[in-house]
Structure 1
Amino acid sequence: MGAVKRGVAGLSRKEKAQATRRRILDSALAAFTERGYSDTTVEAVARDAGVAVQTVYFTFRTKGDLLQATYEHVVLGPDALHPHQTEWWRTVERTDDVAVAVRALVEGTVELLERAAPLVWAVLGDSTARAAYEHNERLRRDGNDHLVRVLAEKHPLRPGLAPSAARDILLVLTGPQLYSQLTRELHWSRSAVADWMTAAVLRELFAVDAL
C-alpha cells in the first residue's frame, strides 16, 4: 500500500507552526510585491494567510521584521539554503576555469533573482523599507567581495581594475534592479539574461570573451 499523505491533523506542533509561517510569508510576499511595503497592512497579510493578526505579530513581532523574513524567504528558496550552501556556489569555488565559475555564479544568481527581484523592485523606492533594503545590500556586497576573491584566484582581474571596483561591477551586473529592468520592462527571457550577464561579467572583470 502506498504511503498516505498526512493531513493537517497529523502534523506535529512544530510542523504546523512551520506551515503557518510559510503561509504568512507567501502572503506577505504577494502583498509587498503587488501593493508595496507602505500600502501593505499586517491585517491584510493575516487575512490572506487565513490567520489571526495576533499570529502574525507573535511570529514576526513587527511589520519590519516580517519584511526582513520575507527577504530571507525568497533568497533561501524552497530548500532553505543560503547561497554559500548551494551547489552553484560550490562550483564557483571548486572549478579552476573562470568561465565555468562565472556561468555557475550567474545561473545560480538568476535563479535567486527570479524569486527575489520582484520584492526588491516593489520596495526599492519606499523610504519606510530603506533600512531592510540597505541591510540586505550589505549582505550582498559581503558575498560579492568573497566571490571576486575566489574568481580572481582563477584568472587575474583585467589590468587596472581594483577588487573593490570589480565587486561593485559584479553587484550591478548581477543585481535585482538590472534583472527586473531586463525581464519586467524589456521582456528578456531568463536564459537571455543569464547569457548576457555571463558575457558581461567575464568581459568587464577579466577581459575574457564568453564562449
Structure 2
Amino acid sequence: MRILSSAIAFSAAAFALSSAANAAIIINIQESGSDVVGTATGTLDLTGLTDLGTIPIRLAVRGTPGYFGGGSNGAVQAYTGITGPANWGPGSLTDATSSSGDMFAFNPRFSGSPRVFVPIGYTSNSAISSSSTFAGETLASLGLTEGTYLYNAPNDTITVIIGNVRGAVPEPATWAFMILGFGAIGGAMRRQKNTARKANVKVSYA
C-alpha cells in the first residue's frame, strides 16, 4: 500500500511540475451572471519576441480581429513574434465597463502580426493577473465565438478560451509526465500483487 501511495504522490507531483514547466498566459472570457468577464493570468517568456516599445492600449474586447485588454489605463510594452488565428468571432470593439489588475492586452492581428502588451518593465516569467468586465453583455452580443484559440511564441504559448469549452488537450510535456506517473502506479500495483501472492504460498514437507 505504501508503494502505491508513493506512486500516486509521484504522479501528482509530476503533473504539477509539468503544469509549472508549461506555465503560459491563459485568457478566459466567460459569461458570469448577466455580464461577461475576461481574465488574463499566468506568465510569459519574452525570449525571442521583438520589443516594439511602449504604446497605450484599449480596455476592451473584440472578435474580428481578436482583442482583449485589461488592467488599469496607461501605457504598456508591445512585443511581436507570435503566431495563431486572427479572429475570435464577428464582433466589433466593445469597451470594458470596469477593469483591474496588471496592464495587459493581446491582439492576434495588429498591423498584420499578433502582438502582446505587458506592463512596462515586465520581467520574463513574472506573474500577470488582469481582468475586464463587460456589464450587461453576453458572448453573443459581443460577437465572440466559443472555442479555444492557441498561439505560439518562440518560448511560450498564449491560449484564449471563450465560453465553457470542454476537453482541452494537455501540452505534450504534460502527457509525458502523466504517462510516466500512470506507469509508476501500474508497476507499483503489479509489485504489490506479486508480493501478496508470494505471501499466500504455503510450503508443505512430505
Normalising by structure 1, we get a TM-score of 0.22
Greater share of strand: 2
| TM value normalised by structure 2 | 0.22
Higher helix share: 1
Structure number with higher relative contact order (C-alpha < 8 Å, ≥ 6 residues apart): 2
